[in-house]
Structure 1
Amino acid sequence: MPPSPEARRIAITVKGYPRLSETFIAQEILALEERGLDLEIWSLRHPTERAVHPMNKKIKARVAYLPEYLYEEPLRVLKSAAWSLRQKGFGAALKAFWRDLKRDFTANRVRRLGQAFVMARELPADVRHLHVHYLHTPASVVRYAALLTGRTWTFSAHAKDIWTTPDWEKREKMQEALWGVTCTAQGVQTLQALSGPDRVSLVYHGLDLSRFPAPPENRPARDGSNPMDPVRIVSIGRAVAKKGYGDLIQALAALPGDLHWRFAHVGGGELLAGFKKQAQQAGIADRVAFLGAKAQPDIIALLREADLFVLPSRKAASGDRDGLPNVIMEAASQRLAIVATDFAGIPEFIRSGVEGELVPPGDWEALSNALNLLAREPERRKILGEAAYRRLRQDFSMEGGIDVLESRFRALVDNPLKQRSPCERP
C-alpha cells in the first residue's frame, strides 16, 4: 500500500535471506539497525542453507518472503494483481514492465512483476523508502513496486549485477533510483559511465572488527618441510566459475613434491562436485578437504588455524566477476598471509608485495609459484599478514561506509513530508 505521511521505515530487499555468502549485507543491516534506523527485510527467496551466521540472529527486522514462483501462491498473487490494477501507479509500472519485456521476453521478467504486485500490496503503510541489494532481478521487483506505490528507491550494486545486466536495463533503473552505491572503484567507473558522476558513489563494505576475535599473536612457523605438520592453506568462497577454483586445483597439483601441505575449502555451489572430481584426477584428493558451507564461527576458527589464505578470482564466461570479496578482509582480520589475483576489486585492498601476493587471473602456474614461495617462508607470511591487518583497520573498517548510508537514509526518512521525485538527483 502507499506510505502514510508519517512513514519512516525502510524496506531492504534482497534476493535471498539469510545467505551464508552474503555476510556483508547482514553486517550492513545489523549496523544500520543498531544506529536506530527502522528496517524490514523483503526477500525474493526462502533460505536454502541450514546454518545461519550469529549476526543474522541479532537482526530484529521483520522478514517478509515473496513467492519465489508465482504458481506456488496463486491466490496471493491474484489478490495482489487485482489490488495493483486499482492503483494510480499501475499505468507507469505496466509501461516500464512492457518496455522491459519486449527486450527480455522471459518468464523471469513476468515473475518479477508478479512479485512486485505482492510487495506493493503488502508493504506496510509505515514504510517510506525501498532499498535493494543488487541491480538485476531484485531491483526489477523494487522498481515496479516503487512505481505502483509512489515510493522512492535506492540500490546497492555489487558484482554479478554490474557485469551481467544489460546496459539498457542498468541505465534505466539508475535514472529512476534516487541514488546508488557500489563496493569497488571499478564498479563505480562502470556504472557512472551509464548514469553520470552524481548518481552512483563508492562505499566499501568494510569489516566490523567487533565481530572478530583479535588475531593470533603467533602462528607456528610451518615451512612445508615436516610431513607431520604440513602448511595449512585455506580458501572461502562459493564453488562457482568466477572464484577460479579450477585454477587453484591445478596450482596445488603442481606444487613441488618436497613441499608438505593441506588445503581446505569452505563454501557450497554448483561446481563443487566437479572440483572434487578434478582434485581426484590430479592425485591430490588426500590433501584437499571440501568442507561445504559453514557459519561464521567455524570460518573464523579455520582462518586462525591456517597459514595461508588463497582466492584465485577470475572473470567467468558469463561475464560475472567478484567485487571486493569480504573473505579477503576476513582473512586479514586474523593477520593471515594472502595470495589472490590482480583482478576486480581485490587490488583496491591488497597491494602486491605489501599486504599480500597478487598473480594474474587464470594463471595457475603463477599461482602455484606464489603459493610455493610463501609456504616456505613463515617470516614473509607474518610480514604480509601484519600489513594486511593494518590496512584493514586503517582504511577498510565498516564505520565509514555505514556513516555514509546512515546519513543518506536519514535524509529520506527523517523528513517524511519532503517528497522527492524518483528522477531527482541526491
Structure 2
Amino acid sequence: MPIHLSTPGKTGDVEENCHSRSELAEMGTYLLPSFTAENMDLYLIRSSILEALSKFLRRYQGTILDVGCGKMPYKQLVLQHPDKYVYIGLDIENPRYQADAKPDLYWDGRTMPLEDCSVDCAIATELFEHIPIPENTMREIFRVLKPGGQLFFTVPFLWPLHDLPNDEYRYTPFALERHLRTSGFYNISLKALGGWNASLAQMIGLWARRKPMSDEEREKVSQELFPFYVKLVESDEKPDEFMEGQMITGVQGTASKPLRICYILLHIPVPSETFIITEILALQEVGVDVHTVSLGPSQQCHEDLMAHFKQPVYNLSDKSADSKSEINSLYFAALRLVSKYDILPALAVQAALAAEYVITHSIQHIHSHFASEAALVALLVSKLTGITYSCTAHAYDIFKVDVAGEFNPDRRLKLIVEHAAKFITVSEYNKAHFMALTNGAIADKLEIIHYGMDLSRFNKIERRPSGTVIFLSVGRLVEKKGHEYLLRAFQQVAESCKVHLRIVGEGPLRQSLVALADELGIADKVTFVGAVSSSVVLEEMKRADVFVLHSLTGEDGNREGMPVSIMEACVTGLPVVSTRHAGIPELIVEGESGFLVAEKDSAGFAEAMQSLALSPELREKMGTAGHNIVSENFNILNEAEKLKNIFTSIIVHHNRAASGNASQDTSINLLTVLYANLLKIKNLIKRFLA
C-alpha cells in the first residue's frame, strides 16, 4: 500500500513532499513508521512532523540547533545535505535517552553553552509541553539565534500522558503565540498538524495500540479498524485557520528573530525600478522585516506589487514643517556631518528625518540602492545613529559623470565605499571597476548580489510561430538603451522579413525616435507602447517572439548594470539579441541563449535579428537555454538569502565589536542616545493621554 499524508484539500505521497525513496529508507522507522495496523498510534504524528520539518529545512541552511534532541532522530535528516547544514544536538543530561547516543552539547535548562547570535535555525520538536516555564527556553533560543534566524517547533494536542512527571502542558495555538511574542519572536506562523479526520484516526490508533487488552484482542481490533483508519488519514483536511470548535492533532509553527532593515531610497516606487520592489518582497519571504524610506515623492505605479509590502513606505516629502521642527537636534548634528564630509547641505534635513525613523523603529541595519543621494543620506543616518549601512551600486551611479550637479563622481563613490560595512554590486564588470577605482583596497567589503527573478511570476511560455515575428524591446527611452541603432537594424530586417517591433518605455528621446522611425519608413511596423505596469510588460513578453536591447555607453559615461528586462525575457523563454556591454555577457551566453554584437553595430544587430526571424527552431532552442540559465543562476529567493546573510553577518559583527567606533563622533553618539530616550518618553506620554 502506498504511504499517504494528508495536506489541505488533497492527498500527497510522503516521498513527493519530503525525500526520495532511498533517503526515506535510510531514515529508519522512527521518523517514518510503516503505514500498517501495527503503527496506527505512531504513523500520523511522526509522518506529519517529518513532512513539516522537511519543508522547513528546504528553505534554510547554516547551523541548526536541535533543542531537546533526545536520541537525535533528526540528525540524519539534517545531514542528508552536509553542504547546507551543520547540526548541533542540545539536551539536558538524561541517561534514559543517552545510553547509545549522546548530544553534542549538554545544558542545565537555564543557559545554553552558546554565544549570542551564533546559530541560523533552531528546531524544537515535541519539546515545549515538557518545559515548566516555556518562556525561559524560548528566550534562550531567541538569544542564540542570529538576527533573522528561524525557530521551527511542533507540540502535540491529542496525545496520552507520557514521560511522567515531566508532561506539563497541551498547548492551544493562541497560548503558543503569546509565549513566543513575550519571548521576543515575531512573524509567527502556526498550522495544524492534522484536522478532524486525522484527530479521530489518531484517537482510534491510540486506543487500538495502547489501551490495555490481550494481544489477541489487540490484533483483532487493529485489523478491523485499520481500513477505517486509512480512509480517515487519506481524507483529512488540515484547517487553514484555527476556529471555534476545531479539532487538531497538534501544532507546527515557525517564528523569527527580528532582522529589521531600513531601505533608504531616492524614490519608491518608480516604473523603471521593479528590481528593488522584487528584492524587498523576496527578503520578506525569507523572514526579513523590511522598512522603506523614500526621500522623494512616490509615483503611481506597480500597485499590484506594492500591495504586498508588510511595512508602509515612509515618504519624507510628505513630512510637514511641524514634523521637521521636531528633529532640530538631529538636524544640527547632520549639518556638522555634511560639512565634515563635504556633502550637499540639502541632504541634512532628510538625514535627520530618516534617522528619527530608524531610531523609533529599532532598525538594525540600513541599506540603500544606487551610490548617489540615497547612499549619502544612508551614510549620514549611520553616523547619526551608530547603525551600520551598506549600499548596492548599479550603473548610472557608478559611470555617469554628473550626478546631482557634482563634478567628481569618484570622490563620492570612495566616500560611500569607505564608510559602508559592505558594498554590493550586480555584476563582475562593476566589481572590476570598483577594484580598479580603489586599487583593490575594498576587496573584503565588495560583494556581488545579482538581480533575481521571481519564478512564480515569470514562467516559460510555449510559443507557436505566427505569420509576423514580433520583436520586443523594454527600457527607458534614453541614450544608453541604444534605440536609434535598434531602429536602424530593424529597418534592414523589415526589408526581407515579415516583422513588427514593439518598444515599451518612456523617456526624453521619444519624440526623436518616433521621427526616426518615420524617416526610415518603418513607422507602420513600429509601435511605441509607452510606460506600462510590470503585469503589462509580462503580457507583452507572452506575445513576443524575440527580445532586443541595443545597450551602449552614453556620451556622459552612463552605462547599464545588468538589465532586468533581459532577465525577464529569458525567464519567459524569449531568445535575446543584445550587445557586448557592461554585465550583459554575464547574463547571455553568446550563441546559446542569444546573440551579442558590438555597440553601435546596426548591421551586425540586423543580421542576428534576421537569423532568429527566419528560424522558429532556433528561437525555441535559444529561448529554452536562456530560461534554464536564468532560472538556475538568478533566482530571487536565492539572491535574497545571500543578501539576508550579508545583513546578518554585518549586524552580528557590529554587535560583538567593542562598543563605539574609534572614528565615531562621541558627541553625536551621546545625542542619539538622549534623543532615543526622549522619543520613548514622548510616546509613553501619548499612550497615557490617549
Equivalent pair of 2:286/2:641 in contact (CA under 8 Å):
no
Note if contact 1:8-1:416 (Cα within 8 Å) is conserved in structure 2. Answer: no
Equivalent residue for 1:103? Answer: none
Alignment partner, residue 175 of structure 1: 418
Is it true that 1:155 corresponds to 2:374 in the alignment?
Answer: no
Q: Report the number of matched residues.
A: 395
- Pair 1:374-2:612 in alignment: yes
Is 1:84 aligned with 2:335? Answer: no
Partner of 2:315: 65
Query: Which secondary structure does the structure 2 equivalent of 1:354 belong to?
Result: coil
* 1:25 alignment counterpart: 276
SS for the counterpart of 1:258 is coil
Q: Calculate the aligned-residue CA RMSD, in Å.
A: 2.4
Q: 1:45 aligns with which of 296, 302, 305?
A: 296
| Bigger mean CA deviation after superposition, 10-19 or 112-121 | 112-121
Where 1:361 maps in the other structure, the secondary structure is: coil
Q: CA deviation at 1:419?
A: 5.3
Does the aligned pair in 1 maintain the 2:279–2:452 contact within 8 Å? no
Distance 1:140 1:331 in 2: 33
Q: What letter is aligned with 2:656?
A: K
The 5 A counterparts of 1:268-279 are: 268-279=506-517
**Which moves more between the two structures, 191-200 or 324-333?**
191-200
Partner SS, residue 21 of structure 1: coil
Q: CA deviation at 1:307?
A: 0.9
| 1:74 Cα deviation after fit | 5.0
Q: Kindly indicate whether residue 438 of structure 2 is the aligned counterpart of residue 203 of structure 1.
A: no
1:84-163 aligned at under 5 Å gives the runs 84-85=331-332, 87=333, 91-96=336-341, 99-100=342-343, 109-123=344-358, 124-163=360-399
Mapped to 1, the partners of 2:335 and 2:582 lie a distance apart of 39
Shift in Å, 1:53: 5.1
Shift of 1:418: 3.5
Secondary structure of 1:371's counterpart equals helix
CA distance in 2, matches of 1:95, 1:230: 61
Percentage of identical aligned residues:
29
Cα pair 1:207 1:329 within 8 Å, conserved = yes
CA contact (8 A) 1:251 1:364 kept: yes
SS at match of 2:596: strand
The letter of the residue matching 1:215 is K
**Please, which runs of 5 or more residues in structure 2 have no aligned partner?**
1-183, 185-257, 404-408, 664-690
Distance 1:261 1:129, change over 3 A: same
Indicate whether 1:36 and 2:287 are aligned: yes
SS at match of 1:291: strand
Contact 2:271 2:533 in 1 (8 A): yes
Report the CA distance between 1:170 and its aligned residue: 0.8
Q: What is the CA-CA distance between 1:422 and the residue it aligns to? A: 7.1
**Structure 1 residues 398-425: Cα deviation after superposition (integer angstroms, max 9, x where no partner):** 233212111122234568843577799x
Cα 1:409–1:233 change in 2 (3 A) is: same
Distance 2:279 2:503 in 1: 26
Q: What is the deviation of 1:154?
A: 0.6
Cα deviation digits, residues 213-241 of structure 1 (max 9, x gap)? x3223x2234xxxxxx3211111111111
How far does the alpha carbon of each residue in 1:133-170 deviate from its partner, in whole angstroms, 9 at most, with x for none? 11111111111222122221111111111112611211
Write the distance in 1 (CA, Å) between the matches of 2:392 and 2:484: 30
User: Which among 426, 444, 460 is matched to residue 215 of structure 1?
Assistant: 460
CA contact (8 A) 1:8 1:126 kept: no
- Structure 1, unpaired ranges of 5+: 1-5, 101-108, 223-228
Per-residue deviation at 1:76?
Answer: 4.7
For residues 422 and 376 of structure 1, do their structure 2 counterparts lie closer, same or farther at Cα, with a shift above 3 Å needed? Answer: farther
| CA displacement, residues 276-308 of structure 1 (integer Å, 9 cap, x when unaligned) | 122122221111111111112211111111111
Taking the aligned partners of 1:300 and 1:125, their CA distance within structure 2 comes to: 36
Alignment of 1:214-233 (within 5 A): 214-217=459-462, 219-222=463-466, 229-233=467-471
Distance (whole Å) between structure 2 residues aligned to residue 67 and residue 94 of structure 1: 23
Which residue in 1 is equivalent to 2:601? Answer: 363
- Give TM-score, length-normalised by structure 1: 0.86
Change (3 A) 1:116 1:328: same
Amino acid at match of 2:648: R
* CA shift for structure 1 position 393: 1.9
Contact 1:243 1:312 in 2 (8 A): yes
Match for residue 629 of structure 2 among 391, 395, 403: 391
**Residues 185-223 of structure 1 deviation map (CA, whole Å, 9 limit, x = unaligned):** 0111111232421111111122121122x3223x2234x
Instruction: Tell me the distance in 2 between the aligned counterparts of 1:376 and 1:117.
Output: 59
The alignment's TM-score, normalised by the length of structure 2, stands at 0.54
Q: Given residue 407 of structure 1, which amino acid in structure 2 is its aligned partner?
A: N
CA contact (8 A) 2:286 2:637 kept: no
Give the whole-Å Cα distance in 2 for the aligned partners of 1:111 and 1:346: 36
CA contact (8 A) 1:11 1:41 kept: yes
Q: Which residue of 1 aligns with 2:472?
A: 234
Paired residue secondary structure (1:233): strand
Instruction: Report the Cα offset of residue 8 of structure 1.
Output: 5.0
Distance 1:148-1:257 versus aligned 2 partners, 3 A rule: same
SS in structure 1 at match of 2:552 = coil
Could you say what secondary structure the match of 1:131 adopts? strand
Say which SS state the counterpart of residue 232 (structure 1) adopts.
strand
Matched residue, 1:191: 434
Contact 1:357 1:370 in 2 (8 A): yes
Q: CA deviation at 1:359?
A: 0.9
Question: Deviation per CA, 1:237-293, whole angstroms, max 9, x where unpaired?
Answer: 111111111111111122252311111111122222221122122221111111111
Aligned to 1:290: 528
Are the counterparts in 2 of residues 336 and 385 from structure 1 also a CA contact under 8 Å? yes
